[in-house]
Amino acid sequence: MKSIKKICCVGAGYVGGPTMAVIAQKNPHIQITVVDINQERINAWNDTDLRKLPVYEPGLDLIVAEARGRNLFFDTNVDKAIDEADLIFISVNTPTKTYGKGKGMAADLKYIELCARQIARVAKTNKIVVEKSTLPVRTAQAIKRILDQTGNGVEFQILSNPEFLAEGTAIADLMNPDRVLIGGAETVEGQEAIEALASIYAAWVPQERILRTNVWSSELSKLTANAFLAQRVSSINAISELCEVSGADVSEVSRAIGTDSRIGSKFLKASVGFGGSCFQKDILNLVYIAKSYGLDAVADYWEQVIIMNDHQKHRFAEKIVTTLFNTVNDKKIAFLGWAFKKDTNDTRESAAIYVANELMEEEAQIHVYDPKVTHLQMLSDLDYLATRTPEKNKKHLTTHTDPYTALEAAHGIAILTEWDEFKEYDWQRIYDNMQKPAFIFDGRDILDHQALENIGFEVYTIGKGN
């Protein structure tokens, strides 16, 4: 089995940074270099102030502090790191295409191809190349075709090692994973490469949790896992709308069906909708793959998961407008939370973006407090939707570093992220300083609604008759 002494990870984002930090901590004898062409991001990873790390995950700062400078390094010299590495993780962005064939569904693999071509150009010795980014089935085949054209006699083994991290709990997930999945070629060399990577994880993960498959099964397993989880969220959200008109309580329905051992209780909490970098992108990718093989019924089935999620966000925004007497023109709507979930600064596909966008179309003034997301990031999220000019977005979006100023004189409050600190606020003080009647739209169902109603709030919660 090949002994791994040096690892390079191309991509210093939400997956590459935390994953390599944990691998470095658990394998102090292996030198790990995380590279990225974004100088600002690398500077942040190297900042002596650990509060400035570009990725916020509870516990990440302590691991980086332990390993950085010992056997964990962050750099922009991509060629050098590739040249020296025995094993290379590809952890670059794979967004949904916004152009051409497959627009709005297929994964955009341009960064993967550029990375593969760079490896092919630089490599002078045999390498193990590991797909860490979420990719369509058979991407490994395309990567290998590019790498095998180097003409300099270098041999590459391509592995698929998808991440199954939940943002906000990424460090806990890395430390104690349900499984580590490694897919590779069913050849002697391919199996040796699988075992080389498995030995790195075996430093802390029990062998029975390290699953070996062929490369295609590994790639598809990642898409399927996220599709199944998202399907559960959309399913309970569909039921939440039925609960509101029938008088049922979705939390009681969730508890009742969650006690069925065949179903289980996870991912059955109704909300304003799922977000994050994986669920929507992976389902759309699955839809595109199904369509490309002519499996229209399969594609339509999975696409409905996305349609339901979009509907949930739309009707939440619509509820705010109708409750506030059918107009939010120039009204102050306070948002608590912008990140797609608590304990992360990631905003990709956050429900807050889409709810804010719809309310701004109605000329509302959106005031936001989020403990980790910056004003620039919020504006960037809205500008990306391209439904208004950046100037108009700036006019209708105000951010605050103090939650009480964000909530002061608001006509309504929307809870868009389940940050724990929101539960600890002085809600009597907030009520006293709001426009009356005072409305709360709890899209994450995290507050004590009876206590709020006793104060005088009118509370709207998804999945309950209001």
Q: Which of 222, 281, 319, 331 is flagged as catalytic?
A: 222
- Is 278 labeled as catalytic in the residue annotation? yes
127: left (phi over 0), alpha (psi -120 to 50) or beta: beta
For the chain, give the secondary structure using H, E and C.
CCCCCEEEEECCCCCHHHHHHHHHHHCCCCEEEEECCCHHHHHHHHCCCHHHCCCCCCCHHHHHHHHECCCEEEECCHHHHHHHCCEEEECCCCCECCCCCCCCCCECCHHHHHHHHHHHHHCCCCEEEEECCCCCCCHHHHHHHHHCCCCCCCCEEEEECCCCCCCCCHHHHHHCCCCEEEEECCCHHHHHHHHHHHHHHCCCCCHHHEEEEEHHHHHHHHHHHHHHHHHHHHHHHHHHHHHHHHCCCHHHHHHHHHCCCCCCCCCCCCCCCCCCCCHHHHHHHHHHHHHHCCCHHHHHHHHHHHHHHHHHHHHHHHHHHHHCCCCCCCCEEEEECCCCCCCCCCCCCCHHHHHHHHHHHCCCEEEEECCCCCHHHHHHHHHHHCCCCHHHHHHHEEECCCHHHHHCCCCEEEECCCCHHHHHCCHHHHHHCCCCCCEEEECCCCCCHHHHHHHCCEEEECCCCC
Q: Look at residues 63, 75, 80 and name the one whose alpha carbon lies nearest to residue 28.
A: 63
Q: Report how far apart, in Å, the C-alpha atoms of 367 and of each of 210, 352, 405, 408, 428 are.
A: 46, 12, 9, 10, 20
Residues 435 and 198: their CA atoms lie apart, in Å, by 59
- Is 222 labeled as catalytic in the residue annotation? yes
155 with 113: CB under 8 angstroms? Answer: no
- Is 163 labeled as catalytic in the residue annotation? yes
Q: Which of 57, 131, 163, 418 is flagged as catalytic?
A: 163
Residues 426 and 73: their CA atoms lie apart, in Å, by 44
Q: Which of 8, 244, 278, 331 is flagged as catalytic?
A: 278
Enzyme catalytic residues: 163, 222, 278
